Amino acid sequence: MPITIDGNGTIEGFTSGLPDGSVLQVVSTTKTDTSTFTNVNSGYTAQVPGLTVNITPSSTSSKILIKGIVTFSTSNVGQNGVAVTMLRDGTEFAIGDAGNSNTRASFAGYYSPDDDRLPQAISFEHLDSPNSTSQITYGIKLFQPFAINLDLYVNLNGDGLTSFTRVRTTSVITAMEVAA
């Protein structure tokens, strides 16, 4: 169908807007510094400072694709996993169903007991339907499930040593508004 403009300025044959599934905006935060949570016990949770992203959807029908990577390590080579919970404006979401007394989380990862020089990367992704045109802050928090006290690190190797054989990393969170 040809596009025409009549004498009143009305356009015909043209559909304004982008099709569903189009990316409307992208915002991202890269955390390059480290965070240390010292002597934390079983059940400890903490939001990762500096790993949040703000986005303001242009429509209530928009979806927000949240994706990223958090790198972590622990001071204990025997008990060294972490669960990750996604946060929307400080409230947990995209978590597993309730079951017995299990802790609900979005994702989990295990830190290799064989080599504490390299942090473990946990990737995460979720398509959210916030039904809002107000600014939304997305972030993550970590959960330490083991029945011991340990140090939990973000973007840092787990043995506490410094040398060219140890690694510091980055963590990233990205929010993409998707037309729906």
pLDDT in tens, 30-51: 999 999 888 888 778 889 999 9
Burial class of residue 172 in the structure, from the number of CB atoms within 10 Å of its CB (0-12 exposed, 13-18 middle, 19+ buried): middle
How much of the chain, in percent, has pLDDT values that exceed 90? 47
Mapped to the 3 state alphabet, what secondary structure does 46-81 carry? EEEEEEEEEECCCCCCCEEEEEEEEEEEECCCCCCE
**Nearest-angstrom CA–CA distance, 48 and 29:** 12
CATH class of 36-178: mainly beta
Q: Provide mean pLDDT across the span 14-32.
A: 87
What is the SS3 assignment for 106-174?
A: CEEEECCCCCCCCCEEEEEEEEECCCCCCCEEEEEEEEECCCCCEEEEECECCCCCCCCCCCECCEEEE
Greater pLDDT, 82 or 179? 179
pLDDT at 9: 64
Can you read off the two tokens belonging to residue 146?
């083991």
The span from the CA of 179 to the CA of 62, in Å, is 5
Residue whose token pair is 């965070």: 35
**pLDDT score of 146:** 76
Domain positions in the chain are: 36-178
Does pTM top 0.75 for this prediction? yes
Taking only the tens place, the pLDDT of each residue in 107-148 is 888 776 566 677 888 999 999 999 999 999 999 998 888 777
